[in-house]
Amino acid sequence: MAVAQDTSEFRYLPTQAAMLGTTVPSAERIALTLPDGRTLSALRFGAGEPEVTLLHGAGLNAHTWDTVQLLLGRPALAIDLAGHGDSSWREDLDYSPVSLAADVAIAMAEWTRDPQVLIGHSLGGLTASVVAARNPQLVRELILVDIVPGMDTDAAPAVLRDFYQVTEFADRDDAVDRAQAFGFGGSREDTERGVFFNTRVRADGRVEWKHHFAHIIGHAFDALNAANAKAAETDPWADLEAVGAPVTLVRGARGFLADTDAAAFERRLPNATAITVDAGHNVQETDPAFLASLASDALTRPSR
């Protein structure tokens, strides 16, 4: 089955909304020029000021949150982290949470008016922790999805390094086949949608991964390991422990977190909430209804 070549990035929303029994919100692509000239791109859903800001994980993009947003039904902002989606790649190859957070904080100050329920998955969760710690005025609640500081990532990089040994394909269908062979995505339809958003067609007609991460996979993990080592000289939990807003960890039962990671979270943040759901690492794709409900509940609580 060939993957459709439609260039409209919102082409899937009507079908998704019909399957979920929800309405299709207004949706637009927005962009911000950063102080150094790079562009940070995002999706804005719904009418009115954003109430929820969403940060994806490494190798993903803002559209990973589409289903969560459809179920949430509230104005939301989904940001493409630097080097991902339609945001500029970094020439210095620095995709550490601290560097990513600096971009996100600028964007949130520009694009949001009220403190946000900030939800971050994986690398986006580490980024969100830095944003919340260093820019408390921007965040009313912080939700981390299958990530904690200092997490043992030995297994995840091995899988991703193997997956990104191939970075270009004859067509998108080939990319879908590879993703499914590695167990990424849910149904084939879901995987096709994810591949559509995460690839681009080059001038020579071949398809390649859109995010910088795929093309510098070895360097990216080496840089993250170096950043973790540097943080370990102080305390990798320092930013998260400094967050004044309520914090919730959502752990996928089939995700990347080990029991020791979850135990460390509960020990280091005794006043936070930890919840395990029957989902994989990408909880936003395997149990989007839970995250939508969690965000909705957070919006009903008085902001601190």
> What residues are annotated to the active site?
122, 146, 281
CA 105 centroid distance within chain = 15
Residue 207 phi/psi, 5-degree rounding, is -105, 135
Integer Rg of the chain from CA: 18
CA distance linking residue 44 with residue 27, whole number of Å = 6
- Residue 153: partners with Cβ closer than 8 Å, 6 or more residues away: 224, 256
CA distance linking residue 62 with residue 41, whole number of Å = 9
User: Which one, of 97, 115, 134, 108, lies nearest residue 241 by Cα?
Assistant: 134
Q: 93, 224 in Cβ contact below 8 A?
A: no
